[in-house]
Amino acid sequence: FHVSMDTWNYFHTCVVSIWLHRFYIYSAVAFGISVWIVIHFTSTRSKRKVTEPGTADKLGNGCAPSQAQEVHVAGVKIFYGSQTGTAKRFAKALAEAVTCLNLPVEVINMRDYDAEDGLAEEASSRNICVFLVATYSEGQPPESAAWFCKWLEEAANDFRVGKSFLQGLRYAVFGLGNSAYMDHYNTVGRRMDRWLWMLSASRIMTRAEGDCNVAQSKHGSIEADFEAWKGKFLTQLQALCKGEKKPCSGKCKKGKCKSLGKQNKESSDHEHGMSEHENTEAEELFESSSEEEAGGTDSVIDVEDLGNIMGHMKKAKVLAALSPWCQSLWVPLCIFCVSILACKLNCLIICALFSGYKLIGSHSGVKLCRWTKSMLRGRGGCYKHTFYGIESHRCMEATPSLACANKCVFCWRHHTNPVGTEWRWKLDQPEVILQEAIEKHQNMIRQFKGVPGVKAARLEEALAVKHCALSLVGEPIMYPHINRFVKLLHQHGISTFLVTNAQFPEEIRRLEPVTQLYVSVDASTKESLRKIDRPLFKDFWQRFLDSLKALAEKQQRTVYRLTLVKAWNVDELKAYADLISIGKPDFIEVKGVTYCGESSASSLTMANVPWHGEVLSFVQELARLLPEYGIACEHEHSNCLLLAHHKFQVDGEWRTWIDYGRFQELVREHEQSGGSRTFTAAEYTARTPPWALFGARERGFDPSDVRFQRKNKAQDISGC
């Protein structure tokens, strides 16, 4: 016994010692990694010089042979965002100068330009895009450029938008600022330049900055700064028109843009050891200040702020552009800082870094859904609008728990949210969460004021939240005060659509009535569920089955949500039918998986995304096995269909929509009676409109809106 106790004491002492000295362990590991990286990249760089001695000679001046008939520059588009009119004045002056070169030119106010639709087309237009943008109060863009900048930021940091989205777009940025405001000097211009670069657009010259502070202005005034830059821009533009220069190589410092052809052979040999994009990345690392990398001035940090810093350090090619002295000093220092940061940061703070998320307290979040933006502009609503009649522009997407008990292969957040099987975070009160969620949601809605295409009436309606989709990320039902939170939503007249991953059966049983309760049924067998959802619980399958049984006990509307992953779970029809007989849901949503980009945490590819026709075939076959259900609705744009129980088909008409006013009345009666007054799903149904039904010509698109078609796509004559 004494021997075993001595062994235990020794083991305990070692563990405590390691924990107390963890800082030194982190430091040693970081230093070791730093040394390895320096050695590795130095050797890689040496190999490049040996293996590519003739690259510079082969390329000559860095440009492919020009073709006499080729049009290198079709025109120039000058975008401006101005608060006092200075940027607008500069834009007109630049336009006059470009006109003298016999080039078509267009001056565009960012307020009147739809960046979402237009910028992608510029990538193949052979136009040169010039951005003149001022930095306004607290480092924010002018009101006229607010939406343009917001969209560009979201696109640059949204993994669902390809990083080559603007590849082919050639641009130059001139920022207007005042160095007297040191913390925010030319912040907007710098960020715009960075966001364009992150989307693979190509600079034709380095970013320039005009300074209103005459004491610090390089040329004595912001007008003189602009004139100096304009001369360089026109020279570069003339060279591009002749096909003499490629876009900026990225080695642009202090306003001097050196083409590869003008460098000496030694420099050229070094330059051609890296691709043009690598050089551009080197410039980004060189030019970005600590303020730029810190992101905006919002109270919530977005993922790009930490992600860009870490991303730069992960890219060896960027580091190869730096001198050996810089490598030996900055690389270890940066990696050391990140290592300590990674060890110290709470995982929920990492969650706050999600692109576009607004963190609430310590464990909740809210985000603006893309369908909310779509319906604000009259471009159609989400599938819930088609299936259940929600107003997408009045829906708030939120969660009281960012944590989850699964690590699904199709997780649209690539498992950057925390995971766990029990609650272990500081608990925020539901009143605080709801208040902040509504405030942050309304603030995001207000940013759409003045955005091209946004309908004023809908913008006003959107400020009054009517629906809450508790499905943003994580497992909302894990939140210990979920019932209080749901009641608060109902007291505010907000309907509730709560999604659970079927791992907390007791919480489902204890859950108070919600408008509609979802259970994600991502697979129909134990092995396929293990492979797709990758649950943390060891008894995940029993929990899954118990959750379905708990769902069957609910009297309000219940839904199975099936996500089809091609080659993973689409061949288990009979097993799905068996699971449906357990939970007896009112509705079954069947949706094709959405591919959210490459991730080291998942092997999912575009090959796993089923076509809409394949989803339809699956639903039709499943319906044959379920005589109590029929195909009620379809939303082709979301690759989604709805099976509904025949009890929702009254006198030959489907009633899948919800009478939200009636639901609120029933909930109030339920609460006032202390729970004795129960109600069922049949008591708050509404008639489904013809356009939403399966087989309708509209295929689920609301005809009161206008289906958006990109200009480079043929008009769909089906009206869908």
Output the pLDDT for position 405.
Answer: 74
Spatial CB neighbours of 707, under 8 Å, sequence gap ≥ 6: 379, 380, 701, 716, 719, 720
Q: Which residue has the tokens 């939240």?
A: 465
Most confident listed range (282-286, 345-349, 416-420, 660-664): 660-664
The overall longest dimension of the chain from CA atoms, in Å, is: 96
pTM score, two decimals? 0.61
For residue 708, pLDDT over 70 is answered with yes
Output the pLDDT for position 531.
Answer: 79
Q: Which of 11-20, 261-270, 582-591 has the lowest mean pLDDT?
A: 261-270
Mean pLDDT of 1-30: 66
DSSP one-letter string for 320-357 = HTS-HHHHHHHHHHHHHHHHHHHHHS-HHHHHHTSTT-
For residue 533, pLDDT over 80 is answered with no
Mean pLDDT of 674-697: 95
Output the pLDDT for position 424.
Answer: 76
Q: Which of 151-155, 170-174, 479-483 has the lowest mean pLDDT?
A: 151-155
For all residues of the chain together, what is the average pLDDT? 78
75-242 with 361-692: one CATH topology? no
Output the pLDDT for position 157.
Answer: 81
Determine whether domain 75-242 maps to CATH 3.40.50.360.
yes
For residue 509, pLDDT over 60 is answered with yes
Among the listed residues 315, 232, 251, 320, the one whose alpha carbon sits nearest the alpha carbon of residue 62: 251
Alpha-helical regions (H) of 534-636:
540-552, 573-583, 612-625
Output the pLDDT for position 258.
Answer: 47
Most confident listed range (136-150, 471-485, 684-698): 684-698
Output the pLDDT for position 615.
Answer: 93
Output the pLDDT for position 209.
Answer: 92
β-bridge pairing 685-686 and 657-658: antiparallel
- Name the DSSP letter for residue 417: S
Contact between residue 705 and residue 375 where contact means Cβ atoms under 8 Å apart: yes
Q: Which of 8-17, 73-82, 513-522 has the lowest mean pLDDT?
A: 8-17
Output the pLDDT for position 8.
Answer: 60
Confidence of residue 514 (pLDDT cuts 50, 70, 90): very high
Output the pLDDT for position 596.
Answer: 58
Beta bridge partners of 343: none
The pair of three-digit structure tokens given for residue 653, joined into one six-digit string: 């008409």
Indicate the CATH number of 361-692 among 3.40.50.1820, 3.30.565.10, 3.20.20.70, 2.60.40.10: 3.20.20.70
pLDDT in tens, 205-247: 999 999 988 888 888 889 999 999 999 999 999 889 888 765 5
Output the pLDDT for position 279.
Answer: 39
Mean pLDDT of 603-619: 82
Q: Which of 52-56, 576-580, 625-629 has the lowest mean pLDDT?
A: 52-56
Output the pLDDT for position 245.
Answer: 62
Output the pLDDT for position 300.
Answer: 36
Give the number of C-alpha atoms closer than 13 A to the C-alpha of residue 527, restricted to the C-beta side. Answer: 2
For residue 347, pLDDT over 70 is answered with no
Q: Which of 158-162, 313-317, 709-713 has the lowest mean pLDDT?
A: 313-317
Output the pLDDT for position 60.
Answer: 35
Output the pLDDT for position 710.
Answer: 57
Q: Which of 73-77, 362-366, 470-474, 547-551 has the lowest mean pLDDT?
A: 470-474
Output the pLDDT for position 11.
Answer: 66
Mean pLDDT of 463-484: 90
Most confident listed range (261-275, 306-320, 358-372): 358-372
For residue 202, pLDDT over 70 is answered with yes
Output the pLDDT for position 68.
Answer: 45
Confidence of residue 12 (pLDDT cuts 50, 70, 90): low
Confidence of residue 171 (pLDDT cuts 50, 70, 90): very high
For residue 67, pLDDT over 60 is answered with no
* Helix, strand, coil percentages for the chain (3-state, nearest 5): 45, 15, 40
pLDDT in tens, 255-302: 444 444 443 433 334 333 333 433 333 333 333 333 333 333 333 333
Q: Spell out the domain ranges in the chain.
A: 75-242, 361-692
